[in-house]
A and B are shown apart, each in its own frame.
Chain A
Amino acid sequence: MDLSYEVKDSYAEITAAGRLNMVSAPKLRELVAEVVAAGTSRIVINLQETAFMDSSGLGALIGCLKAARQAGGDLRIAAVQPQVQMVLGLTSMDKVLTSYPSAAEAFGDD
């Protein structure tokens, strides 16, 4: 998985391309911790190119959500693809992790 991030005006966008599984999940947690430590706690994870996610990846997203909220911000996900949507739905985590059509819309209202 390739992870990168870009700090925008009011949030940071993390792009996760590839498979979010037990190999890459710890790397996502580390990156989000770095972004939060650097002072940005409003984070959107762009999942446009995330073709696969397992329960380890889901656990990482939930951990990252907690980290962002503890820092006074939030974590949202965008451009969710079918397999990721399936995992979110089967685990009812689609009610916890708010999904937006695009990264730009995730914090568009606040």
Chain B
Amino acid sequence: MTDVLARRTLRQAALPEAIEAVHTELDGLWEDASFVPDMDRMTFATAVIEAASNVVQHAVPESTAPVELGVDISVTPLRLEARVSAFGAAHPDPIDTDPAMPDGEAESGRGLALIRALVTTVTFKRQDGTNTWILSKSPLND
């Protein structure tokens, strides 16, 4: 990791209220990295909130302990990166990492397709009982 210009982290119970806390951290990130263009802020923030909401809505605890949501967002001169984690979550069902966008009158199922459309790369990893989505958007100003 080189030249991190701004960084915010959060870890708390994976409850709906946590989403508002993620918004607050995103706002703080932009205060610390005011050079990031509005369009990049808008797309990246939308993707991060989608990923965090996905953890809150779908992560299943691996044990009796509740799942915790972790968000680590950073700005470097070249890109925006987010690591959105579900701590203490069971391995998710097989993930289609490149799903089609639902059409018509579907009321759900657009989250991951939307993330795909908003950022440059999306990767998933599982390590030590933690599922992590890594989103990156680069280059800035594209």
A residues with a Cβ closer than 8 A to B are 19, 21-23, 52, 54-56, 58-60, 62-63, 65-66, 82-83, 86-87, 90-92, 96
Contact = CB atoms under 8 A, between A and B. Distances in A.
Contacts, number: 65
A37 to B, nearest CB: 19
Interface in B8-48: 16-17, 19-20, 23, 42-43, 45-46
B46 A66 contact: no
Chain A: interface secondary structure? Answer: helix
Contacts of B20: 19, 23
B106 A62 contact: yes
B4 interface: no
B50 interface: yes
Chain B: interface secondary structure? Answer: helix
Contacts of B42: 82-83, 86
Interface of B: 16-17, 19-20, 23, 42-43, 45-46, 49-50, 53, 56-57, 101, 103-108, 110-111, 113-114, 117-118
A23 B110 contact: no
